[in-house]
Amino acid sequence: MVIEKGDKLILLTNDDGLYATGLKTLLETMEEFGKVVLISTLESRSGMSQALTVKTPIRVKLLDEDEKHRIYTCNGTPTDSVKLAVNQLLDRHPDFLVAGINHGANTSVSVLYSGTMAATLEGCLYGIPSVGFSLNSFAPDSDFSVCHDFIKLIMNRLMDEPLPPGICLNVNIPAVGRDEIKGIKVCRQSRGNWKEEFEKRKDPMGKTYYWLAGYFNNQEPESDDTDNWALDNNYVSVVPVTVDMTAHWFLDELKERLDR
């Protein structure tokens, strides 16, 4: 793949593994916007958050290259993938980073655990305009084609008006027919938490083990300005996410309590 002057260079990754249907859909869509460098692990790295590989060597292999894309696989995490690409694999700074399409929504506090959104935030830290895309379905036969039009719309807007430094986008798309989606809704992350997160089980030998399970508890289901409400009502939710996790609203009060 030769990147000519004027070509857009797009870095693409995910956390569901190289052969995930969502990644294939996103690759095909991104090739409409420029030259794509894809890097992903062979298997799923979901739930890795911002984890880094620090105790074992990271290995990278070039799998495929043509005039539109270059595809690598590595044995690290989604965050490793972004760092490797930016520091070692790319000829220049990418114009965009896109991650996904994640198999399952990344709303509310899920952004803290998501490997897809971790990669998006990592791109943001490097000063790359970054977007994470997710489809609100875990079904094995999920139809990711519904995402195409909305990804194109959002990317076209970002081409015209780049994001401010330190801000990326978390985009979640309803898993319904294209005609059922009402539009795009810019909103905030809803407040919620995961409940009863582990099931206690016995293996065939009678030994105890624990299986991650649980359910999401939406603490404000009626708030129509949140990402969960948007998805539940067939809107594409778009949440601007910042890498600055400071609780700015609480600074003055905390100073009053602690500054001496």
pLDDT at position 43? 86
- Work out the average pLDDT over 81-98: 95
pLDDT for position 19: 94
Q: Is 202 helix (H, G, I), strand (E, B) or coil?
A: strand
Nearest Cα to 133, choosing from 18, 7, 29, 40?
Answer: 29
Of the candidates 136, 143, 130, 200, the one whose C-alpha atom is nearest the C-alpha of residue 170 is 130
Joined tokens for residue 23:
């990644």
Each residue of 158-187: pLDDT tens digit?
A: 999 989 999 999 999 999 999 999 999 999
Tokens encoding 239? 């949440």
- The share of the chain scoring above pLDDT 90, in percent, equals 81
Question: Nearest CA to 239 among 106, 74, 95?
Answer: 106
Percent of the chain having pLDDT more than 70?
100
pTM value > 0.85: yes
What pLDDT was estimated at residue 83?
96
* pLDDT value, residue 260: 67
For 24, residues 6+ apart whose C-beta sits below 8 A from its C-beta are 144
* pLDDT of 155 over the 70 cut: yes
Class of domain 9-190+222-258: alpha beta
Mean pLDDT of 141-147: 93
pLDDT one-digit tens code per residue, 183-227 = 999 999 999 888 778 889 999 999 999 998 878 888 888 889 999
Q: Give the DSSP per-residue string, 170-183.
A: EEEE-SS-GGG--E
> From the CA atom positions of the chain, what is the Rg in Å?
19
Mean pLDDT of the chain: 93
